[in-house]
Amino acid sequence: MFQNEAFRALDREECVRLLAKVPVGRVVYTRHALPAVLPVNFSLDTDASVLLRTSPGSDLVRAIDGVVVAFEADEFDAAARSGWSVVVTGRASVVTDPAEHERLSQSGPTSWMPLRDAAFVRIESEMVTGRELR
């Protein structure tokens, strides 16, 4: 439905502002050569990269560390048939710098899941696109 004149393209600033409003997005990647998607809660870093908190040994970490992924968030109102969608595309990498890990442990994303150890994954906001359905 989302490929014609009824959409308004959003600029990067608008996209980042909208992303900051929602707690959950979806990591889009490839697993065993098939398209895969996983909802995650997230936060935005000061440079608008997407930060996830997960388990160090998770399937997600294994699948996306060092790989270009997409990250999508949206909000829709079915009654009004309106809404927005933002996609961040960039390289995902596990945070390995101890000082950075410590900073994110204090101020970074939380997880909705109880985690024994935390790994942080950063998705660089190399390409940020969005559109609004009016």
Among residues 4 and 46, whose Cβ is nearest to a copy of itself?
4
In terms of Cα–Cα distance, which of 63, 88, 64, 61 is closest to 74?
A: 88
Quote the least distance from Cβ 23 to a copy of itself, whole Å: 4
- Rounded CA-CA distance 28/31 in Å is 10
CB–CB of 63/35 below 8 Å?
A: no
- Provide, rounded to whole angstroms, the least separation between the CB of residue 7 and a copy of itself: 8
In angstroms, the CA 19 to CA 72 distance is 9
> Which residue, 45 or 84, is less far from a copy of itself as judged by CB?
84
Residue closer to a copy of itself, measured from CB, 3 or 46: 3
Q: How far is CA 100 from CA 12, 41, 104, 119, 122, in A?
A: 25, 19, 6, 11, 11
Residue nearer to a copy of itself on the CB measure, 99 or 116: 116
The contact set with a copy of itself (CB under 8 A) reads: 1-4, 6, 23-24, 26, 28-30, 34-41, 52-55, 58-60, 68-70, 72, 74, 76, 78, 81, 83, 85, 87, 89, 111-115, 133
Least Å distance between CB 97 and a copy of itself?
Answer: 22
Give the shortest CB-114-to-a copy of itself separation in angstroms: 7
Nearest CA-CA partner of 129 in 92, 87, 89, 91? 87
